[in-house]
Amino acid sequence: GAGVSQTPSNKVTEKGKYVELRCDPISGHTALYWYRQSLGQGPEFLIYFQGTGAADDSGLPNDRFFAVRPEGSVSTLKIQRTERGDSAVYLCASSSTSGSYTDTQYFGPGTRLTVL
Amino acid sequence: GNSVTQMEGPVTLSEEAFLTINCTYTATGYPSLFWYVQYPGEGLQLLLKATKADDKGSNKGFEATYRKETTSFHLEKGSVQVSDSAVYFCALGPSSGAQKLVFGQGTRLTINP
């Protein structure tokens, strides 16, 4: 079946601009996660949704970052007033049940964001 | 807080060599442990997992055993192939609260024919 998809695959923007990154999870998956992967590092957690609500947003670095999941499926990560330090690969993952610690998270291919 | 320390790379081996990539963790409670792999040009894929102490995860000839006494989850393969060249990430899933995975920094593995 279809996996997690993310669009765009690449995004180049200028410092100070606003960007939106989209994630389509696996159909039926209720849990959705955003991570950020800087060059040469492992992914770092940003935010977790269970259904429509953000159950844990403790990884968002500051108030320029915001994410929504209005209908419990597609999610959008929004970054305002982008900075060069925001350049990274943004990964989305989904899992099938209630976010149990035994669940497997399935990752999308990522969006590579470059802020000039 | 929870953390994962992974063997630094890059690691270069010849085909058919034995592979070990070390991973140790710090966590409260009884986390789940995972190895993810990222092949060139592809996304992260789950390679194997173990959800309780002494469990052994295995897949594609790779194995890792959840050792609570040494807080380790080392990845092993008896005979590597060129196609195993990739970046390998050890990760921890906390036993309570939101399932935010904590990843190691990754180990780049190159297998030469």
Q: How many Å lie between the alpha carbon of A63 and the closest alpha carbon of chain B?
A: 20
Q: Which residue of A has its CA nearest to B33?
A: A102
Mean pLDDT for B15-35 is 94
Residues of A in Cβ contact (< 8 Å) with B91? 42
pLDDT at B84: 97
The residues of A whose Cβ lies within 8 A of any Cβ of B are 31, 33, 35, 40-45, 48, 55-56, 58-59, 91, 93, 95, 99-110
Beta bridge partners of B18: none
Residue A46 DSSP SS3: strand
Q: Which residue of A has its CA nearest to B41?
A: A109
State the CB neighbour count (10 A cutoff) for residue A92: 28
Residues of B in Cβ contact (< 8 Å) with A58? 100
Residues of A in Cβ contact (< 8 Å) with B99? 31, 33, 48, 95, 99-101, 103, 105
Mean pLDDT for B104-109 is 96
pLDDT digits (tens, 9 = 90+) for A58-76: 999 999 999 999 998 999 9
**A/B interface, count of CB pairs below 8 Å:** 69
Cis? peptide before A8, omega within 30° of 0? yes
Structure tokens at B39: 């092949």
Whole-number Cα distances in Å, B22 to A75, B56, B64: 35, 15, 10
Q: What does residue B21 show for φ and ψ, rounded to 5 degrees?
A: -120, 120
pLDDT digits (tens, 9 = 90+) for A16-58: 999 999 999 999 898 999 999 999 899 999 999 988 888 889 9
Task: Measure the N-to-C terminal CA separation of chain B; round to a whole number of Å.
Answer: 41
User: How far, rounded to the nearest angstrom, does the alpha carbon of residue A21 sit from its chain's CA centroid?
Assistant: 7
How far, in Å, CA of A89 to CA of A84, rounded?
13
pLDDT at A98: 61
Structure tokens at B69: 């006494």
State the CB neighbour count (10 A cutoff) for residue B3: 12
Label residues A31-62 b or e (16+ Cβ within 10 Å = b): bbbbbbbeeeebbbbbbbbbeeebbbbebbee
Residue A63, by phi and psi: left (phi above 0), alpha (psi -120 to 50) or beta? alpha
How far, in Å, CA of B24 to CA of A109, rounded?
27
Q: Which of B62, B4, B61 is nearest to B33 (CA)?
A: B4
Q: Is residue B99 within 8 angstroms of chain A, CB to CB?
A: yes
Q: Is residue B77 within 8 angstroms of chain A, CB to CB?
A: no
Residue B42: band (very low, low, confident or very high) from pLDDT cuts 50, 70, 90: confident
